[in-house]
Chain A
Amino acid sequence: ELKVEQNPLFLSMQEGKNYTIYCNYSTTSDRLYWYRQDPGKSLESLFVLLSNGAVKQEGRLMASLDTKARLSTLHITAAVHDLSATYFCAVDRLRASYGKLTFGQGTILTVHP
């Protein structure tokens, strides 16, 4: 059974600081997604990572994928209050399961002034 684990589950940061969220998954997967969710809202796609060594950046967020270690990271640079949200990673296995996503538990990020 595919399992996805994130850490930390709660992250309290000061504005201007850097931090990394980690996402581990248990079996070979095809793609790794990062989503953002604001309270009571839907899931906003941030990144889709396809291959080993993939790195994508958008603003203050950068995601990377190491398929050999089954690890993805979401790095936050110089955090600002607007980044406060819950961040989920998710993986799929196209050939095995028609794109079904298995999610991590989520990381609740709070950025303080």
Chain B
Amino acid sequence: EPEVTQTPSHQVTQMGQEVILRCVPISNHLYFYWYRQILGQKVEFLVSFYNNEISEKSEIFDDQFSVERPDGSNFTLKIRSTKLEDSAMYFCASSDLQEQFFGPGTRLTVL
């Protein structure tokens, strides 16, 4: 069964460093998303991406964040200069507008 994959599963970084989180969406899906979940809290929308551009972003998705689809399969989230409060689980999701499927997540720890 097709699934969304994410790498790495766990990323530890120092405050101020750049991180790139990678996702491979389901191959025939056209809509891609990033969400984050701070430990013990609800899942929050960050950004949606369609037709090679951002379709919507939340207030959390400030200038430190960017997304890219560098080739036909990968979808990346970059945080330019990480802060302590960026520590969270980051989920990638993809959709064909029938249903949205989530990847296993990347746990980001900022020290």
Contacts and interface: CB of A to CB of B under 8 A. Distances in A.
B42 A106 contact: yes
Contacts of A35: 102
A101 B100 contact: yes
Given A88-B43, A103-B42, A106-B42, A98 B100 contact: no
B56 interface: yes
B42 A42 contact: no
Contacts of A101: 33, 35, 43, 45, 93, 100
A94 B30 CA distance: 14
B63 to A, nearest CB: 20
Chain B facing A: main interface SS: strand
In which size bucket is the chain A interface? 20 to 34
B75 interface: no
Contacts of B107: 40
Contacts of A103: 42-44
Interface hub of B42, B44, B50 (most chain A Cβ within 10 A): B42
A42 B102 contact: yes
A98 B50 contact: yes
A41 interface: yes
Most buried by A among B45, B98, B103, B104: B45
A35 B43 CA distance: 11
Interface string B32-45: 01010000011111
Given A42-B102, A42-B104, A42-B105, A100 B45 contact: yes
B56 to A, nearest CB: 5
Nearest 8 interchain pairs by C-beta: A98-B55, A103-B43, A43-B102, A42-B104, A105-B42, A98-B48, A103-B42, A99-B95
Given A92-B100, A100-B33, 8 more contacts: A45-B99, A98-B31, A98-B50, A99-B48, A100-B45, A100-B56, A101-B45, A105-B41
